[in-house]
Structures are given as C-alpha cells and as structure tokens.
C-alpha cells in the first residue's frame, strides 16, 4: 500500500542523505579542504539537510507509519481520501528529482538548508539551481498539505463508534495534531518561497 511506498522512498532517501553525511564528516576530518571545493561542501551540507527533513523524516514518520497504523488503530479499512493519499505520495519523487536537478545545475545551491538570503538571492546564486530548489520544496510542501488534510480528516471524522476522542490511541492523536500544525505551517513556507522566487526573477522586494 501507500505506507510501504512511503517507507521505500524514505529509506532510499535516507541512504542518499547518509552518503552526504559521510562526505561531510570526511571533509571535517582533517585541516584544509579534503574535497577541494568549498562550494561543493556547502552544496553537500544543504542537500543533506533537505533530504533528511523533507524526504526521510516527514515521509517515514507521517506517510509511512501514519498510513500503516492510523487506519488499523481506528478500525478503518483505509484512509479517508485514498486518491488524495496516492497523489500526496507520487508527487514526492518529482520533488526529489527537482532537488537533484538543483544539485547538478551550475554548481548547485550551497546556501544551507535554511535557504536564507542573501545566499539564496539572485546575487548569491544567479543560476537556476535555487529556482529548481524552490520548485522542489513547493511540490514537497503540496504533498505534505495533501497528506495532512487526509490524516486530519481521517482522525477527526472517521473514528468507529467505540472510539470517542478520549479513547483514540495517542499515536493517532499525535498524527492528527501534527497534521493540523503542518496545514498551518506549509502555506507559510510556500508564501515565503514564492516571494523568494519573485525576488529572484521579477525584481520584487
């Protein structure tokens, strides 16, 4: 099911992120530059952070464990919106592909996973790498919003008759609360990314 697909994607992303982590430790293991390129090191740090957060932790904890355990714990046959669930997974590989497009275009983005200006501005990185990264996080955020709407609706509206709120397992409540927080937070991230995109390409301020 979708939970298993989330686990496969997040485990693969975890292996890639761990490879970047090994390169970070290799660079820091000796004085001077082991990799020979400080921009490459910054790119590795940036990509490692984004992969671990958006493609390991969030898909595994919410998508994987959530899809496996929430319907089972609430005595349901499936999530509330199975097709929304499907879409929320299948846009994640697209988001990850855009992240790798960013890493391989004109030296990649080496401004840290927080993406702060001025490094993420057009002066800091003038090539398309940052724009690919913005699109990647936009799509990843859309995936999180869709999955969160699904989890929150399932937790809030589809409990079996024996499951009053005080009898719902704590895991399901934690998924519901996390989904609510993601629904609040992800549009803010999307707004900030959109403003950064227009600052870079349309000379807004």
Domain range annotation of the chain: 1-202
User: How many helices and strands (H and E) does the chain possess?
Assistant: 7, 0
For 1-202, CATH number? 1.20.210.10
Polymer length in residues for the chain: 205
Q: E-assigned strands of the chain? A: none
> Looking at the whole model, is its pTM more than 0.85?
yes
pLDDT digits (tens), the chain, 205 positions:
899 999 999 999 999 999 999 999 999 999 988 888 899 999 999 999 999 999 999 999 999 999 999 999 988 899 999 999 999 999 999 999 999 999 999 889 999 999 988 999 999 889 899 999 999 999 999 999 999 999 999 998 887 766 677 888 899 999 999 999 999 999 999 999 999 999 999 999 8
Q: How far apart are CA 205 and CA 170, in angstroms?
A: 45
7, with CB counted inside 10 A (0-12, 13-18, 19+), is middle
Q: How far apart are CA 106 and CA 102, in angstroms?
A: 8
């Amino acid at each position: 099911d979708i939970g298993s697909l989330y686990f496969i994607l997040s485990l693969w992303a975890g292996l890639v992120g761990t490879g970047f982590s090994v390169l970070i430790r290799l660079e820091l293991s000796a004085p001077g530059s082991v990799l020979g390129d400080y921009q490459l090191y910054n790119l590795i740090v940036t990509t490692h952070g984004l992969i671990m957060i958006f493609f390991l932790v969030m898909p595994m904890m919410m998508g994987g464990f959530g899809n496996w355990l929430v319907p089972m714990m609430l005595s349901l046959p499936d999530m509330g919106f199975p097709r929304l669930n499907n879409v929320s997974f299948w846009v994640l590989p697209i988001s990850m592909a855009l992240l790798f497009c960013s890493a391989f275009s004109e030296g990649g983005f080496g401004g840290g996973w927080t993406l702060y200006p001025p490094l993420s501005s057009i002066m800091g990185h003038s090539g398309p790498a940052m724009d690919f990264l913005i699109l990647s996080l936009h799509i990843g955020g859309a995936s999180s919003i869709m999955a969160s709407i699904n989890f929150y609706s399932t937790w809030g509206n589809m409990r079996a008759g024996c499951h009053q709120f005080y009898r719902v397992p704590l895991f399901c409540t934690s998924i519901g609360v996390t989904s609510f927080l993601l629904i609040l937070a992800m549009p803010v991230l999307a707004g900030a990314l959109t403003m950064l995109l227009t600052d870079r390409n349309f000379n807004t301020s």
